[in-house]
Amino acid sequence: MTTLAVVRRNHVVGIALLLLGLGGHLASAYVIRALPHAFAHHIEGFLLLTMATALVLLALGWFFWRGRHDITLLLLGISQFVAGWAIFVLTITKVIF
């Protein structure tokens, strides 16, 4: 069994990593140009990537960690953190625009 403290910690860390991943997308939009449409495109990309990743993780969670939604949220946060800041790094190194 998991304790309530572990579940709560996983929720907090997962949400914090999601917000930091969004920060990576917004930082990338700021580096390109601080125009409203650049921010809109990066927010849309973050939301689309989050939905696609969430669907995959929900399917995996159904088989491997049924009932542990905190693990799904934590893994979603980790993946979005990595993706958001990878997009930022690729943007500042001029690999993608």
Other Cβ atoms within 10 Å of 74 Cβ, number? 22
Per the CB < 8 A criterion, the answer to whether 29 and 42 are in contact is yes
Model-level pTM? 0.89
Quick check: 14 pLDDT over 80?
yes
16-31 pLDDT, tens digit per residue, is 999 999 999 999 999 9
* Residue 65, CA distances (Å) to 8, 60, 72, 73 in order: 16, 8, 8, 12
Other Cβ atoms within 10 Å of 35 Cβ, number? 11
